[in-house]
A and B are shown apart, each in its own frame.
Chain A
């Protein structure tokens, strides 16, 4: 049976989380090797924005600072997302890993199938949103979770997990948020433009199972769903002290991007519709 690597991180800051994902992608890009599955959460809560989003046009940076919510840029596409009451997965793998099929769409689809299997273990019957290019556009400047893009997960038409991807020359990383409860709906308080009543578009594991979900248990089930779907075993990934230092340095850089009183960091685009 093929071995993949598994990283079960303790809750940590958005800066460290995004730095770790970026590091994992570069690690696979440099050295290939086995895919790495990572499951993590955010402490304190953080808002991540898409790679090309202009922060000050996407979110209320002052309000985030006031409420102690970190703001950090993802290396992937899409829009603003509040990481609170959710579990995030990330998967970094070589592009030539045949297990994900060929091309971008098959990669999305195969990972979505693993997530469907994971949710099924929890008794939640999720569907993969239709492709290609299907996006239920609520509003272009709305939050990430307000629309289900192709191959994302829905339950009874409501989004329960959202994913985004980065592709380099020989590797990709896909990460995504699986909602434990509705806390992440609080993103609407922090959007630069007002955006009301999108709660009808989302659901969560707690709502679908009628039980409060424990992070540790959900992580174990997601890991099992990936193992079953792809027919793999996991071996724990441990970073060397040097690797940890590099990740910390990168996390500092990410924290710096929005640390000035009037951040101008970021690109010029606030209208990412994906």
Chain B
């Protein structure tokens, strides 16, 4: 997918919706801030997640950052490749580096997330 087609959180997760399923990852801004990712901890397939609850952790260059679910629903797929090789996320955060897929319970939740333009504005404000 293209970053322009995603929704974003303030915590730098992206969401791309395919039908009733949300694909979730972290933005290239996040990977740039984190540096080399060395470890990713994610919930199991079948887990229920709630919007903006912590669902895992990412470790990079001595920092452990929490990962939040941008949506509510059931995890239907976990990207095992990034658990085995976290550097994939640094190389390709929007394609090969996705984290989880969630079957959406409430698609209206997506309305509270940033559009790509809003996220870019948010990043700009952060830099000021």
Chain A positions within 8 Å of B, measured between CB atoms, are: 50-52, 75-78, 102-105, 131-133, 135, 149-150, 162-169, 267, 269, 271-274
CA distance A150 to B32 in the complex (A): 13
In the complex, the chain A residue whose C-beta lies closest to that of B125 is: A102
Chain B's interface size range is 20 to 34
B46 at the interface (CB under 8 A from A): no
B74 at the interface (CB under 8 A from A): no
Given contacts A102-B126, A102-B127, A274-B59, contact A52 B36 (CB under 8 A): no
Given contacts A102-B126, A103-B33, A103-B126, contact A274 B65 (CB under 8 A): no
Contact, CB under 8 Å: B126 / A77:
no
In the complex, the chain B residue whose C-beta lies closest to that of A52 is: B39
Contact, CB under 8 Å: A132 / B41:
no
Query: Which of B32, B39, B65 meets A269, CB within 8 Å?
Result: B39
Q: List 9 A-B contacts (CB under 8 A).
A: A51-B57, A52-B41, A77-B39, A104-B63, A133-B36, A165-B63, A165-B64, A274-B59, A274-B60
Nearest chain A CB to B64's CB is how many angstroms away? 5
List of B residues within 8 angstroms of A132 by Cβ: 32, 35
Chain B positions within 8 Å of A, measured between CB atoms, are: 11, 32-36, 38-39, 41, 52, 54, 57, 59-66, 68, 126-127
List of B residues within 8 angstroms of A162 by Cβ: 62
CA distance A271 to B60 in the complex (A): 12
List of A residues within 8 angstroms of B59 by Cβ: 50-52, 77, 272, 274
Interface majority SS on A: helix, strand, loop or mixed?
A: loop
CA distance A274 to B87 in the complex (A): 13
CA distance A75 to B65 in the complex (A): 10
Query: Which of A75, A135, A150, A169 meets B64, CB within 8 Å?
Result: A75
Given contacts A52-B57, A169-B54, A169-B68, contact A163 B36 (CB under 8 A): no
Given contacts A104-B33, A104-B34, A133-B36, contact A149 B66 (CB under 8 A): no
List of B residues within 8 angstroms of A75 by Cβ: 64
Given contacts A103-B33, A267-B41, contact A133 B61 (CB under 8 A): yes
In the complex, the chain B residue whose C-beta lies closest to that of A104 is: B33
Given contacts A168-B66, A169-B11, contact A272 B61 (CB under 8 A): no
List of A residues within 8 angstroms of B39 by Cβ: 52, 77, 267, 269, 272
Nearest chain A CB to B1's CB is how many angstroms away? 24
Nearest chain A CB to B40's CB is how many angstroms away? 9
In the complex, the chain A residue whose C-beta lies closest to that of B29 is: A103
Query: Which of B33, B54, B57, B62 meets A149, CB within 8 Å?
Result: B62
Contact, CB under 8 Å: A165 / B34:
no
Contact, CB under 8 Å: B35 / A164:
no
List of B residues within 8 angstroms of A50 by Cβ: 59, 62, 64
CA distance A132 to B32 in the complex (A): 9
List of B residues within 8 angstroms of A169 by Cβ: 11, 52, 54, 66, 68
